[in-house]
Amino acid sequence: MSKLTEIMNKRMAFSFELFPPKTDDGLKKLIGDGGVLDRLAGLYPDYISVTYGAGGGNIGANLEVLKAISSRKQGIVPITHFTCIGGTKDDLRQKLQSYLDNGINHILALRGDLPFGWTGTGGDLRYATELVAFIRKEFGDKFTIAVAGSPEGHISCRSIDADISYLKQKQDNGADFIMTQLCWDMDQFRWWIDAIRAAGVTLPVDVGIMPVLDAKATMNMALSRNGCVLPRKLAEIISKNWIFPDPFTADAEAKDKKSDAAYDEKKASFKEAGIEYTVGLIDEYRVAGIDGIHLYALNKYDDVARIISEAGLIDRV
């Protein structure tokens, strides 16, 4: 059993997700001395995962961030996200071997989002189920494998039953635990967790939480890819702090002239309400029978640390 599944069998795990910055300056702010990673590491998460561009275009920066995580003294497990989009078996084998060569043996095995208009991955493997089977066939137990779970159903699934059956197949093919897509609809989540357990999925479920800090980012996450349900409470926070003419235009204009006189106040008031909402959401998840909280840290420290502290996720003994 891997270190992380052992932890999740004993207690709730706690982790962050980072993304590889696109610029040298961004990378320095994240992994340089005294940067965001150092500060997040001081909160002693069990693991930190690092996202991966669908076709692997950002693998260099992804690996740098992963290596920086393993070099921190806190013993935090680095997990790379990994997709099979566009990869031949040879290509995928080489990339996976290169992670092992760099000491990275934890992976979130994903299909990846298909670019608009594509009907398949353009590579040798079609689904995450096949990627999990491939990793086990080629590398045995060298990797701990996490897989994605979608409490609302993946945006292109035939049905939620089909989606859950494929989740079970990921377990059967050798996955170790589940990391979920964000879900604000707690009734749906509670239904899903019962449904996957009834379907024989016994893997630990680590829940992905996106902190609600900014209206534009929240709407983007909900609607740009996943079609997430926005509960009334969250919709009210967005409406009460609406920046006119709309948050997207207003943000673009903010540098020169502010289209809404209360721009700054609304941004700040959204964030306050959003943090309170996120903390409440973590409370609800913690009593819903989950095994871990995985916070999208968005490469930030202050707001993330505040959420963790207000949610009481860490015992400071």
Binding site for ligand FAD (CB under 6 A): 51-52, 54, 81, 83, 108, 110-113, 127-129, 148, 154, 156-157, 162-163, 166, 169, 179, 181, 208
CB of residue 110 vs ligand FAD: minimum separation in angstroms?
4
Q: Which of 6, 17, 276, 284 is catalytic?
A: 17
Q: Least separation, in Å, of the C-beta of 72 and ligand FAD? A: 21
For 138, phi then psi, to 5°, come to: -85, -35
Distance CA 101, CA 124 (A): 23
Q: How far is the CB of 127 from ligand FAD (least distance, A)?
A: 4
Least spacing, CB of residue 82 vs ligand FAD, in Å: 8
Three-state DSSP at 162 gives helix
* Residues 6 or more apart whose Cβ sits within 8 Å of residue 117: none
**What is the number of residues in the chain?**
317
Terminal C-alpha separation, the chain: 28
User: 241 φ, ψ to 5°?
Assistant: -115, 25
CB of 192: closest distance to ligand FAD in angstroms?
13
Q: What backbone torsions phi and psi does residue 109 show, to the nearest 5 degrees?
A: -90, 115
Of the pair 243, 304, the CB lying nearest ligand FAD is at 304
Nearer to ligand FAD by Cβ, of 55 and 276: the residue is 55
The token pair at 104 is 């990275």
Taking the C-alpha atoms of residue 155 and residue 171, their distance in angstroms, rounded to an integer, is 21
For 43, left (φ over 0), alpha (ψ -120 to 50), or beta?
alpha
Positive or negative, the Cα torsion across 149, 102, 99, 135?
Answer: negative
130 is catalytic: no
Closer to ligand FAD by Cβ: residue 51 or 241 = 51
The nearer residue to ligand FAD, 51 or 218, going by C-beta atoms, is 51
Sequence-separated (6 or more) residues with CB below 8 Å from residue 312: none
Number of Cβ within 10 Å of residue 12's Cβ equals 17
Nearer to ligand FAD, 243 or 281 (CB): 281
Q: Which is nearer to ligand FAD, 211 or 247 (CB)?
A: 211
Helix axes 232-240, 263-286, angle to 10 degrees: 160
* Shortest distance in whole angstroms from residue 248 CB to ligand FAD: 23
What residues are annotated to the active site? 17
